[in-house]
Amino acid sequence: MPEECKDSDLILVCLKTTANDYMLKTLPKLIGPNSVVMTLQNGLGNEEEISKVISADKIIGGVAFICVNRISAGKIDHSAFGHVKANGFNKNFAPEKLRAVKELFEQSGLDFSIEENLHELKWEKLVWNVPFNGLSASLGGVDTRSILAHQPTHAVAIELMKEVILGAKTQDVILDNKLIDENINKTLKMGPYMTSMSIDRLNKKPLEVEGIIGIPLRKAKDKGIKLPYMENLYAELSYYNASLIK
Amino acid sequence: MPEECKDSDLILVCLKTTANDYMLKTLPKLIGPNSVVMTLQNGLGNEEEISKVISADKIIGGVAFICVNRISAGKIDHSAFGHVKANGFNKNFAPEKLRAVKELFEQSGLDFSIEENLHELKWEKLVWNVPFNGLSASLGGVDTRSILAHQPTHAVAIELMKEVILGAKTQDVILDNKLIDENINKTLKMGPYMTSMSIDRLNKKPLEVEGIIGIPLRKAKDKGIKLPYMENLYAELSYYNASLIK
């Protein structure tokens, strides 16, 4: 496959971040002089990883707030949402290429918007990902409705959102506190949604712990801010990942 | 059985706190005018529960720091430690009766000491119970060595000990910070010890969440002190207990 795709115009990275080693080995086989790489992976640090194999000004970062599960090979269950928001990883990304990508998505019937601040986009998505992916996995592989139906885990989900907003602030990303209510309400509307981490946990696969929890936690820690709820979640989920290797 | 033991001199409560409803139903059948009741159960709140069925000045509270697992009916594996520390639940407990209990234990070859402050004893034991019972269960049923071998869970164990010491302070119990190192070192010596909560988790039994984590957490909260690591642990373990009932 890699050889056939040599010198692609657009390489869309949809791999889990747990496959980033594989991604870094595979990308160089696909990249040509005109290629741009776009990542829609969860969490922080993926654009930085990709910049090890292609110039930073050829990378698009993005988030897809979408409820989608792969049921089996080639079978996808898309239950809610789906808007993609993106921007170049740095200011030197050619705007006409970004517009071309937007058109490509829109021609396929998908919502796509170019947002001003990629950094903010990534942190904003963590407001959902940290509590719901994190808790759904640490509780053993449960759905989002179950987290919100039990008062103590519901309360911890809110504390985790507050910590993400605090962590973002250490990186000069100012997120609105109303995101907390918005995310809770949005999640209540999803019904009993199984997050990707929850499904991975049930399938005894490695969890995307570093990008979603570890990197944000360390970024805040480097600025002298302690995030106890996230630290706890990180401890548990990284313990689980480590136990898979043994 | 209850009828045969009617009017016992000493009733020793060794039930798990998850059986406290059963305990409250059974105790009245055993209690006579000369009875005293001694509890060696984990956590806070048991003496208060027992005082619903017998006068508070007939209750002894105690802690047994002991590594012991029931392998099967009548078969006990005692792997380390075993000293029992106790005192009357209130100041009116007859000192001669306390001395008689001490002699009874010592005649059986067991270490038993009468300590000044029962309140302090109970909190001091939580410094071990909260992190090691709590984490061993939230990690899915693991041993104490595994918790300490993974740096992030080791760090969380220490944070939990700090929170217990902080919680104790809200109840005017001043615990020495050196308890943290002492408990870590003691636990390292235990080797791969399976805590009672860990075993209960593996056997899909209810966990002693309220006495060990819930009550201390709420006592601190009532004094305006937030304990995030314990709150997180409480959320997870109470979620597990609730999921057993469904």
Alpha-carbon span A130 to A24, nearest angstrom: 25
Instruction: Say if residue A128 is in the same domain as residue A82.
Output: no
Examine the pLDDT at A129 and tell me if it is beyond 90.
yes
Here the CATH number for the domain that contains residue B20 is: 3.40.50.720
pLDDT in tens, A182-196: 999 999 998 899 999
B65: in domain? yes
CA distances, B100 to each of A73, A83, A211, B112 (Å): 72, 74, 61, 11
pLDDT class for A180, splitting at 50, 70, 90? very high
Closest CB to A228 among B139, B228, B235? B228
Examine the pLDDT at A3 and tell me if it is beyond 70.
no
pLDDT value at position B3? Answer: 65
> And the tokens for A18?
């747990």
Instruction: Say if residue A128 is in the same domain as residue A232.
Output: yes
Instruction: Say if residue A124 is in the same domain as residue A98.
Output: no
More confident site: A38 or A191: A38
- Find the angle CA(A122)-CA(A123)-CA(A127) to the nearest 5 degrees: 120
Instruction: Say if residue B102 is in the same domain as residue B139.
Output: no
Q: Interface pTM (ipTM) of the complex?
A: 0.88
Instruction: Say if residue B66 is in the same domain as residue B144.
Output: no
> And the tokens for B15?
């039930």
Instruction: Please list the ranges in chain B whose pLDDT falls under 70.
Output: 1-4
pLDDT in tens, A91-126: 888 899 999 999 999 998 889 999 989 999 999 999
B234: in domain? yes
CA B45 to the chain's CA centroid: 10
- B182–A contact, CB cutoff 8 A: no
B2: in domain? no
pLDDT value at position B49? Answer: 94
* Cβ proximity of A53 and A26 under 8 Å: no
Instruction: Say if residue B146 is in the same domain as residue B238.
Output: yes
Inter-chain touch A150–B239, beta carbons under 8 Å:
yes
pLDDT value at position B107? Answer: 93
3-class DSSP state of B84 = strand
pLDDT class for A40, splitting at 50, 70, 90? very high
A172: in domain? yes
Convert B163-174 to b/e letters by CB count within 10 Å (16 or more is b): bbbebbebbebe
pLDDT class for A67, splitting at 50, 70, 90? confident
Q: How many other CB atoms are there within 10 angstroms of residue B203's CB atom?
A: 8
Q: Which of A60, A62, A65 is nearest to A91 (CA)?
A: A60
Residues of chain A in contact with residue B239, where contact means CB-CB under 8 angstroms, are: 139, 146, 150, 152-153
Examine the pLDDT at A174 and tell me if it is beyond 70.
yes
- A132–B contact, CB cutoff 8 A: no
Q: Are strands A36-39 and A10-13 parallel, antiparallel or unpaired?
A: parallel
Question: Strand (E) positions, chain B?
Answer: 10-13, 36-39, 59-72, 75-88, 112-114
Query: For residue B80, which phi and psi values (nearest 5 degrees)?
Result: -165, 155
Distance from CA of B24 to the nearest CA of A (A): 27
Distance from CA of B185 to the nearest CA of A (A): 21
Domain count, chain A: 2
Distance from CA of B213 to the nearest CA of A (A): 13
Q: Which of B158, B163, B36 is nearest to B88 (CA)?
A: B36
Instruction: Say if residue B134 is in the same domain as residue B100.
Output: no
Instruction: Say if residue A137 is in the same domain as residue A234.
Output: yes
Spatial CB neighbours of A93, under 8 Å, sequence gap ≥ 6: A36, A57, A58, A59, A60, A87
Examine the pLDDT at A70 and tell me if it is beyond 90.
no
| H or E, element range at B241 | helix B228-245
pLDDT in tens, A16-37: 999 999 999 999 999 998 899 9
Q: Which of A198, A215, A239, A246 to mutate to test the interface with B (most CBs of B within 10 A)?
A: A239
Examine the pLDDT at A2 and tell me if it is beyond 80.
no
B3: in domain? no
Instruction: Say if residue A155 is in the same domain as residue A175.
Output: yes
Inter-chain touch B239–A159, beta carbons under 8 Å:
no
Distance from CA of B135 to the nearest CA of A (A): 9
Here the CATH number for the domain that contains residue B200 is: 1.10.1040.10
Instruction: Say if residue A95 is in the same domain as residue A127.
Output: no
Question: Strand (E) positions, B10-147?
Answer: 10-13, 36-39, 59-72, 75-88, 112-114
Residues of chain A in contact with residue B236, where contact means CB-CB under 8 angstroms, are: 138-139, 153
Closest residue of B to A237, CA-based?
B139
Alpha-carbon span A74 to A82, nearest angstrom: 18
3-class DSSP state of A171 = coil
Examine the pLDDT at A1 and tell me if it is beyond 60.
no
Examine the pLDDT at A203 and tell me if it is beyond 60.
yes
More confident site: A144 or A67: A144
Q: Are strands A36-39 and A59-72 parallel, antiparallel or unpaired?
A: parallel
The residue from B83, B116, B149 where one domain ends is: B116
Q: Mark which residues 193-232 of A lie under 8 Å from B by CB.
A: 228-229, 231-232
pLDDT value at position B74? Answer: 86
Inter-chain touch B140–A140, beta carbons under 8 Å:
yes
pLDDT value at position A193? Answer: 92
Annotated catalytic residue B122:
no
The residue from A116, A146, A171 where one domain ends is: A116
User: Among residues B16, B58, B122, B125, which one is catalytic?
Assistant: B125
Half-sphere exposure at residue A138, Cβ-oriented, CA atoms within 13 angstroms: 33
pLDDT value at position B82? Answer: 77
Instruction: Say if residue B103 is in the same domain as residue B144.
Output: no
Closest CB to B152 among A155, A228, A238? A238
Instruction: Say if residue A148 is in the same domain as residue A65.
Output: no
3-class DSSP state of B227 = coil
pLDDT in tens, A133-161: 999 999 999 999 999 999 999 999 999 99
B1: in domain? no
pLDDT value at position B83? Answer: 87
The residue from B116, B131, B161 where one domain ends is: B116
Alpha-carbon span A4 to A242, nearest angstrom: 36
User: Among residues A125, A169, A189, A246, which one is catalytic?
Assistant: A125
A104: in domain? yes
Range of the domain at B93: 10-116
Query: For residue A75, which phi and psi values (nearest 5 degrees)?
Result: -110, 120
* Cβ proximity of B36 and B62 under 8 Å: no
B107: in domain? yes
pLDDT value at position B1? Answer: 56
